[in-house]
């Protein structure tokens, strides 16, 4: 192969190898997007919007509370109606929200102080929440939520 032919071969090959490096990388994870999932989930419960709350959950979502595990379907049938009723009657004050990323996975840690009356009984406790969300096709979905609480 002559020098001219080698240059004709290597110049386009070098460009093809260089082009992927110039392609834009996916946008880095954004705290605000993940925090919006958290707030949208609780907002949907506050509004009594079961469909909106369920839309934020991954198909394999698992819920952990008081030593029990619930699948997405179990949560929708058994626990979500009670959460909606509670959120509609009691106001929560969210503490600082900490978000940590590892690729397309984020975990969110926060607390919420609840004080008020639920079904005629006083409530006064702090709930700690750990939420794991994953990004698939650009959308963040809740994979698990772990709730624990203590009285104040």
Residue 122 lies in a domain: yes
pLDDT, one tens digit per residue, over 115-135 is 999 999 999 999 999 999 999
pLDDT, one tens digit per residue, over 38-74 is 999 999 999 999 999 999 999 999 999 989 999 999 9
Please state the domain count of the chain.
Answer: 1
Q: What is the pTM of this model?
A: 0.80
Residue 66 lies in a domain: yes
Residue 123 lies in a domain: yes
Burial of 45 (0-12, 13-18, 19+ CB in 10 A): buried
Q: Are 142 and 56 in contact (CB under 8 A)?
A: yes
Range of the domain at 97: 27-151
Tell me the CATH number at 106. Answer: 3.10.450.50
């Amino acid at each position: 192969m002559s020098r001219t032919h080698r240059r004709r071969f290597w110049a386009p090959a070098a460009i093809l190898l260089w082009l992927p490096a110039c392609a834009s990388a996916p946008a880095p994870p954004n705290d605000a997007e993940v925090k919006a999932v958290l707030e949208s989930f609780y907002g949907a419960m506050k509004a009594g919007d079961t469909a909106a709350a369920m839309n934020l959950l991954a198909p394999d979502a698992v819920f952990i509370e008081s030593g029990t595990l619930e699948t997405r379907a179990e949560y929708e049938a058994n626990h979500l109606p009670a959460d909606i009723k509670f959120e509609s009657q009691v106001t929560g004050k969210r503490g600082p929200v900490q978000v940590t990323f590892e690729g397309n996975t984020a975990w969110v840690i926060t607390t919420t102080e609840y004080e008020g009356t639920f079904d005629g009984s006083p409530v006064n406790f702090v709930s700690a929440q750990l939420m794991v969300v994953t990004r698939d096709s650009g959308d963040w979905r809740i994979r698990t939520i772990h709730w624990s609480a203590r009285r104040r």
